[in-house]
Amino acid sequence: MTAIGFIGTGVMGGSMAGHLLAAGHELHVCNRTRAKAQPLVDRGATWHDTPGGVAATADVVITMVGLPSDVEEVYFGGTQAVPSGRGIIDRARTGALLVDMTTSSPALAERIAAVSAARGLATLDAPVTGGDVGARDAALVIMAGGTAADFERSRPILALMGKSVTLMGPAGAGQRCKLANQVAVAIGMVAWCEALAHAKAGGLDPAVVQRVIAGGAAGSWGLSNLAPRALAGNFAPGFMVRHLLKDLAIARDCAAGAGLDLPGLAVAERLYQTAADHGWADEGTQVLYRLRAGG
């Protein structure tokens, strides 16, 4: 059994950490709001007030926070919440493995890897896809960036949280793969939302249309899993609009840096920004259907 630290026990992180605890690992947790970590503490996890406190006790430290700025804060410190010298990298044990599972920027992943290596620490960037359902069912798809040795070291732990665990390349490669995923997700969300809005406007029952076309060439994970929620008026977040917007902004910046024009990405980002402007930033991404179909 391994002493594992888990920082960020929100919608997805709480379930992910729970699988590690259920497997018998010694679990140390920290979260901005303690209440979200309390169910894990009640099951036997140890609470720490700071990310550095977690890092000082663990052989493997996993982070699943919200924004790249949050990743930078917990790894490097230097803020009021995490003072200098109290971040993960400063407090981690020599030889520890640091795994960031947040969707963040490839450049930040590369920086974490370089600074960590200079301090005798191993790293992976290992973002995930699959949403709250995938996290609960330990069925996430995990895409990793780092060395082959560090990936093999992490594999037994990552396999407790995901059904697919793949090394994509060196540091930052996991984040680049996740950005590709988010481009496909966002554009695909626009597709099924507009398809069902079109069906509704034509006098069809969109729920029946959803069931029919999900089994054909138009089928997608979003159409099968998120469309039924949207049609039922359930916009609770498995993944928040604000977080998708964050991912799309990173993807847009990376594309611009490569001289790549992605008009589909631009449309999806504009529509999701409109949803956020309606006050739906904390709703699930399926709220886009509400924007396209009305109501």
The pLDDT value recorded for residue 131 is 87
The pLDDT value recorded for residue 80 is 85
Q: Are 144 and 165 in contact (CB under 8 A)?
A: yes
| Largest Cα–Cα separation, the chain | 64
The pLDDT value recorded for residue 295 is 59
Residue 131 to residue 142: CA distance in whole angstroms: 12
The pLDDT value recorded for residue 44 is 97
SS (H, E, C) 128-174: EECHHHHHHCCCEEEEEECCHHHHHHHHHHHCCCEEEEEEEECCCHH
Residue 189 to residue 183: CA distance in whole angstroms: 10
The pLDDT value recorded for residue 83 is 87
Structural domains for the chain: 3-171 (3.40.50.720), 177-293 (1.10.1040.10)
pTM, two decimals, is: 0.93
pLDDT one digit per residue (tens) for the chain, 295 residues = 899 999 999 989 999 999 999 999 999 999 999 999 999 999 999 999 999 999 999 999 999 998 999 999 999 998 888 888 889 999 999 999 999 999 999 999 999 999 999 999 999 999 999 988 999 999 999 999 999 999 999 999 999 999 999 999 999 999 999 999 999 999 999 999 999 999 999 999 999 999 999 999 999 999 999 999 999 999 999 899 999 999 999 999 999 999 999 999 999 999 999 999 999 999 999 999 999 998 5
Helix (H) or strand (E) holding 267: helix 263-275
- Cβ atoms within 10 Å of 1's Cβ, excluding its own: 8
Contacts for 121 with CB less than 8 Å, ≥ 6 apart:
89, 92, 94, 95, 96, 97, 98
The pLDDT value recorded for residue 79 is 87
> What positions carry a catalytic annotation?
178
- Cβ atoms within 10 Å of 131's Cβ, excluding its own: 22
